[in-house]
Copies of this chain bind each other. A is one copy, B any other.
């Protein structure tokens, strides 16, 4: 226990024990955050959950907010790579499916909902969460920017605003109405976001259409 490599300045075997300790502590931090909120987090409990020495946590992450940020950024990076299928509908479909799969877990939904409330109550966690969301939305914004560059999406609206037309309805279901996000929801969101909600615009985009969504 007292030989935790993470407590030493340099990890000797990359991907070895140090990496496992880091992964265990990051996972424990997210669990702790979900259960107790940022204000109720305890580094002692995080160490216990991760099965490491308390000093390991303290030395590597002297401030809990740094640990939370690293844990959230790490998780976001693993969960949502940037799609590049060649068409805007394909890219956005993949992006929305990745978001839907990521939040298709009560624990992850709980984490995100806890972050929303915590970031309103604490400026420190608010700043951390803001950086995490910026990183996360940066990936989606890049998908939109690529489609604008290919001439598939309109260039007169900010990419972040275009992106929110697709991700917004998913976050409404995640944070507000607490509804599952299935394939038919994603296709409907793509239909409206790409071709608009007007009857005329829809008819122009797909003549003779009238696809039913159960």
User: Quick one: which of B114, B134, B164 contacts A168, CB cutoff 8 A?
Assistant: B164
Q: How many copies does the complex hold?
A: 2
Say whether, besides A171-B168, A201-B196, A205-B198, A157 and B213 are in contact (CB < 8 Å): yes
Contact pattern, A 154-176, Cβ under 8 Å of B = 1, otherwise 0: 11111001101111111111011
- Bound Cα distance from A154 to B196, whole angstroms: 9
Closest residue on chain B to residue A198 by CB atoms = B194
Structural contact, B161 and A192, CB atoms closer than 8 A: yes
Contact for A113 among B116, B167, B204, CB less than 8 A: B116
A157-B175 Cα distance, complex, nearest whole Å: 22
> B residues within 8 A CB of A177?
130, 133-134, 137
A116 x B175 contact (CB < 8 A): yes
Closest beta carbon of chain B to A172's beta carbon, Å: 5
8 smallest CB-CB distances across A and B, nearest first, come from A168-B168, A117-B117, A196-B196, A164-B169, A113-B120, A154-B202, A195-B196, A168-B169
Other contacts beyond A114-B117, A161-B185: 13, CB < 8 A:
A114-B120, A116-B176, A137-B177, A151-B199, A152-B198, A152-B199, A161-B169, A161-B188, A161-B189, A165-B192, A168-B171, A194-B196, A196-B201
